[in-house]
Amino acid sequence: MKVAVITFPGSNCDADIYRVLRDQYKAEVDRIWHRDQLEKKYELVILPGGFSYGDYLRSGAMAGFSPVMKSVKEHVDKGGKLFGICNGFQILTEAEFLPGALTRNKTLKYICKTVTLKKGSSGNPVTSSLDPQKELRIPIAHADGCYFATSDVLKQLEDEGRILFRYFGENPNGSLDAIAGITSKNFKIAGMMPHPERAMNSVTGEEDGKVVLDLILGA
């Protein structure tokens, strides 16, 4: 699989997802600087976590205007897959690839901890092979992770089977409907706040990130 990982000023998880894809999935991975364009055909483009452009204005807001996003849109328009993790999810909403917004956590504090997720919509093809009762332990690290959308958008996401994951047990940031991640209408674009690339190591005792990435890469 050919994958592009976009690096913005302030990205700090690009190297993490790059190494996971290269070393554990044996993928052909390129790191693309925000000033450049996608010059190859990729099956998947990833917007990583971090603090793109220092999170000025709003988290992810400025990255949507970065030069590289022109070719990212072209990639999507041609049917390519796009995945945003944490700040990447914020960028996807700010750039209107996905609906809704990621707002300040209900505690008004930065949260860094491991949380529990469960499958979202039963009809989402990305997670079709995932047991709805399976609990996934995945880390979060964000200050603006509270998913917000209008009631009409929430209903549309539910009706169209577009909720990727929900927080289970504890809703750490106050996201509406406990939403931790969503997909586009054609299921080619996905975004989530938790960091699967940080749960890939038996040494830490957290390996559920592989379940998530297996689904994203195989969707």
- The pLDDT of residue 30 is 98
Q: Which two tokens stand for residue 92?
A: 């996807």
Residue 74 among the catalytic residues: no
Q: Kindly state the average pLDDT of the residues 25-45.
A: 96
Q: Which of 13, 94, 195, 206 is catalytic?
A: 195
Residue 52 pLDDT > 90: yes
pLDDT per residue as tens digits for the range 59-109: 999 999 999 999 999 999 999 999 999 999 999 999 999 999 999 999 999
Residue 205 pLDDT grade (very low, low, confident, very high; cuts 50, 70, 90):
confident
Residue 43 among the catalytic residues: no
Region for residue 82 given its phi and psi (left: phi exceeds 0; alpha: psi -120 to 50; beta: otherwise)? beta
Q: Which of 13, 86, 146, 206 is catalytic?
A: 86
Residue 219 pLDDT grade (very low, low, confident, very high; cuts 50, 70, 90):
low
Residue 201 pLDDT > 90: no
Average pLDDT over the chain, rounded to an integer? 96
The closest alpha carbon to 54, from 94, 18, 85, 8, belongs to 8
Domain extent listing, the chain: 2-218
Whether 118 contacts 135, CB under 8 Å: yes
- Topology of domain 2-218, per CATH? Rossmann fold (3.40.50)
Opening angle at CA 42, ends 41 and 46, nearest 5: 145
Residue 131 pLDDT > 80: yes
Q: Kindly state the average pLDDT of the residues 166-183.
A: 98
Residue 6 pLDDT > 60: yes
What pTM was computed for the model? 0.96
Q: What percent of the chain has pLDDT over 90?
A: 95
Q: Which of 13, 142, 146, 197 is catalytic?
A: 197
Residue 86 among the catalytic residues: yes
SS3 label, residue 130: coil
- The pLDDT of residue 94 is 97
- Nearest-angstrom CA–CA distance, 206 and 51: 24
Amino acid at 114: T
